Amino acid sequence: MADYDLAIRGGTVVTAGDSVRADIGIRDGRIVALGDAITGATREVDATDLLVMPGGIDSHVHIEQPSGPGIVMADDFESATRAALAGGNTFVMPFALQERGKSLRAAVEDYKASAEGRCHIDTAFHLIISDPTPQVLGQELPALVKDGYTSFKVFMTYDDLVLSDRELLEVFDVARRERALVMVHCEGYDAIRFMTERLEKAGQTEPYYHGASRPQVVEREAAHRAISHAQLVDVPIMIVHVSGREAMEQVKWAQDRGFKVYGETCTQYITLTEDDMKGLNMDMSGSKYVCSPPPRDEASQDAIWEGIQQGVFQTFSSDHCPFRYEGSDGKQNPKAKTSFRWVPNGIPGVETRLPVFFSEGVSKGRITAEQFVALTSTNHARMYGLYPRKGSIGVGFDADITLWDPTCKRTIHQSDMQHGADYTPWEGFEVTGWPVMVIANGKIAMDDGKILTEPGQGQVVERDISPFAAAP
């Protein structure tokens, strides 16, 4: 009998710590050997001239979330995980969203039922809390954390999701007691409402003005408020999708004072700008780039790189939130033409996150390959209670591995995408570095762009308490 089901030979193994020339032996879905010359495998993959990295983990994706009357997200669990796999990922973390007036536990069961048997790669859910009733805070949340739902997201804006300061404090307090990690969407609700109405009165309603309705100061104020509330309650928080200098400096300010405040940024904030929302001469094509927080300007992109290089950000995610553009006037909402406020917020990005970040980061010399691994895989596993099962290459880890050709030049085109959206914000974007093979739980899942998995091959997995959550 062969010693290994699969051996990856001749590549450079990159982890968050270092890069070494090594072969990898895989058995029963796990890495069981690392060494100089691993032989005796049923199947061998030649990784000469390739980087052998832990599969990407995208800890911020939205799949099959309700998005308003008649508006359906462009991906279901099947297509979203297929797209993620094509883009070099072996794990995604979507959200189970509690709708107001409904039970959080029921939402979790619904999402889990939708995901099971449909996913190409492993997944695990965060929770979104929109209605922190005494029942949710007192019973449902503590029980869900014990069941492995060890992180939740809260919102400081959006009509149907916004929490009051009092509610934020209550959720933070439960997170501290139960040792969950809270992700916070920092944008101030009242300021956005005020700006939106002012812009609409002035007739400034095109998609471009989405950005003007929520400038950086709105994000900075909310970030500072979230940090202050977290300090009051003494709970660690993760500030997600930081878009520019103002919010980045809030996270850094907190970190410099020893507060347990973590940061996430996303592909759109290093590559897109507010001008993309102008579309062709301020037409609805700008809606393709509408997301929140919005892309800013080049100086903001520089600030985000500064934060990445200085370690202010632990995770680099996609915030994949896909809507179709065609057949509608701005991502499916017929009202979108009357004002930017009705354009569904979110862009597709799970498939392009890794190639764009590798190219802009590693290939352009802004970060090392080790930093890339930390920001796109290892730190996601560590932050969200998946480590040391996922997120690195070592004996005992699940064999979730992506082989990268660091010299391959490609141009991103919608026609090559697996995702369900009908456009990519990175159309025509040129990258150097491409994921050429993905191994998920020890099986070759993607080979040169071909998807070799069946829906259901990925499992919905339980997570441990985050080591970054409150101390016991």
Which residue is associated with the tokens 């995408």?
A: 417
Closer residue to ligand URP (CB): 15 or 292? 292
353 binds Zn ion (CB under 5 A): no
Quote the CA–CA distance of 118 and 28 in Å, as a whole number: 22
223 binds ligand URP (CB under 6 A): no
458 binds ligand URP (CB under 6 A): no
185 binds ligand URP (CB under 6 A): yes
Site for Zn ion in 158-217 (CB under 5 A): 185
Closer residue to ligand URP (CB): 179 or 210? 210
Q: Which does 322 bind (CB under 5 to 8 A by kind): ligand URP, Zn ion, none?
A: none
Closer residue to ligand URP (CB): 301 or 345? 345
CB 186 within 8 A of CB 243: no
| Dihedral of the alpha carbons of 306, 15, 392, 402, in degrees to the nearest 10 | 90
Quote the CA–CA distance of 294 and 216 in Å, as a whole number: 9
Selected from 249, 264, 276, 319, the binder of Zn ion by CB under 5 A is 319
Q: Is the dihedral of CA 372, 375, 376, 380 positive or negative?
A: positive
H helices present in 374-440, as ranges: 379-383
The secondary structure element, H or E, covering residue 184 is strand 181-185
Selected from 27, 62, 105, 214, the binder of ligand URP by CB under 6 A is 62
Q: Write out the two tokens for 51.
A: 């980087």
Selected from 178, 274, 319, 405, the binder of ligand URP by CB under 6 A is 319
CB 258 within 8 A of CB 314: no
Which residue is associated with the tokens 């802009």?
A: 360
Nearest approach in angstroms of CB 313 to Zn ion is 15
260 binds ligand URP (CB under 6 A): no
Closer residue to ligand URP (CB): 268 or 359? 268
Closer residue to ligand URP (CB): 275 or 370? 275
Closer residue to ligand URP (CB): 150 or 345? 345
Q: Which residues pair with 54 in a beta bridge?
A: 401
Selected from 188, 295, 346, 420, the binder of ligand URP by CB under 6 A is 346
Q: Which does 413 bind (CB under 5 to 8 A by kind): ligand URP, Zn ion, none?
A: Zn ion
Quote the CA–CA distance of 268 and 250 in Å, as a whole number: 20
Nearest approach in angstroms of CB 124 to ligand URP is 17
321 binds ligand URP (CB under 6 A): yes
Quote the CA–CA distance of 162 and 155 in Å, as a whole number: 5
Q: Beta strand 443-447 with 450-451: parallel, antiparallel or unpaired?
A: antiparallel
The secondary structure element, H or E, covering residue 230 is helix 216-233
Residue 344 CA from chain centroid, whole number: 18
| Dihedral of the alpha carbons of 324, 328, 330, 331, in degrees to the nearest 10 | -30
Closer residue to ligand URP (CB): 73 or 412? 73
Selected from 345, 359, 392, 418, the binder of ligand URP by CB under 6 A is 345
349 binds ligand URP (CB under 6 A): no
Counting residues that bind ligand URP (by CB under 6 A) gives 8
Selected from 43, 364, 413, 450, the binder of Zn ion by CB under 5 A is 413
CB 220 within 8 A of CB 247: yes
Nearest approach in angstroms of CB 294 to ligand URP is 8
Q: How many DSSP H helices and E strands does the chain contain? A: 14, 21
Footprint of ligand URP on this chain (CB under 6 A)? 62, 185, 291-292, 319, 321, 345-346
Footprint of Zn ion on this chain (CB under 5 A)? 185, 319, 413
